[in-house]
Amino acid sequence: MNASKPNNSHTFNSIGPAGYFITFHTYGTWLHGDIRGSIERHGQNIPGTPMIEPDSSRVQFEMSRLKQPPVRFNLKQRQTIQSTMVEIINYNTWQLHAINVRVEHIHVVLTAQKSPEKIMNQFKSWSTRKMRENNLWKSKKSPWSRHGSTRYLWNEKEINDACKYVLYGQDT
C-alpha cells in the first residue's frame, strides 16, 4: 500500500507546535527489550532518559504475557484504517502532511488544534470500529498497542523531515 504524499502548504500556529508526528503500533509487535528500543511505562519515562537495553529474555517474557497473538494488518485492513484516518482528518479540518499505514504500525504527520494523544486515540477507536463494521476485525480485543509516540514539530523543516521519513524512510 502506498503512503500518501505530503501536503506542502503548511499552516503554522504562533502559540503551539506547527504539527505532530504520531506513530502507533499494532498489539504485540514491539515489546519491552526489543532491539529497536523501548521505554518503561512507569518510573523513568522522561524525555532524554535512556531506553531499555535490548534483552531477548525480556522480549520472550513479554511475549508469554500477551493476551492475543501479535497483530499484523492485511492490505484490506490497512486501506480501511487509512481511509478512516483521512476521513477523521477531513471532518476535523486538520491538515494532513503525510500518512503511512504499515503492517505493524502507523505514521501520520499532521497539523491540528487538539492534543496528539486525543488524536491518536480517535484514530485507533474509529479505525477499529470501521474494521469491525466491515468484518475485518472480529476480536473483542483491541488490535493496538498501548499508547504510541507523539512528537511535537515546531517548524516547517521538522514537518518536512518527518514527512520524508514517513514517505521514504520505511523499509518495503
Domains of the chain: which residue ranges? 1-28+71-172, 30-65
Q: Note down pLDDT in tens along the chain; length 172 residues.
A: 555 554 444 444 457 899 999 999 998 776 655 655 556 555 555 556 666 666 677 657 676 777 888 899 999 999 999 999 999 999 999 999 999 999 999 999 999 999 999 999 999 999 999 999 999 999 999 999 888 889 999 999 999 999 999 999 977 5
Count the alpha carbons within 13 Å of 5 in the hemisphere toward its beta carbon. 3
Q: Which of 102, 115, 113 is nearest to 165 (CA)?
A: 102
Looking at residue 117, its pLDDT comes to 96
97 in Cβ contact with 162 (< 8 Å): yes
pTM score of the predicted model? 0.80
Domain 1-28+71-172: CATH superfamily, name plus number: Transposase IS200-like (3.30.70.1290)
Per-residue burial over 31-54, b = 16 or more CB atoms within 10 Å of its CB, e = otherwise: bbbbeeebeeeeeeeeeeeeeeee
99, 85 contact by CB (below 8 A): yes
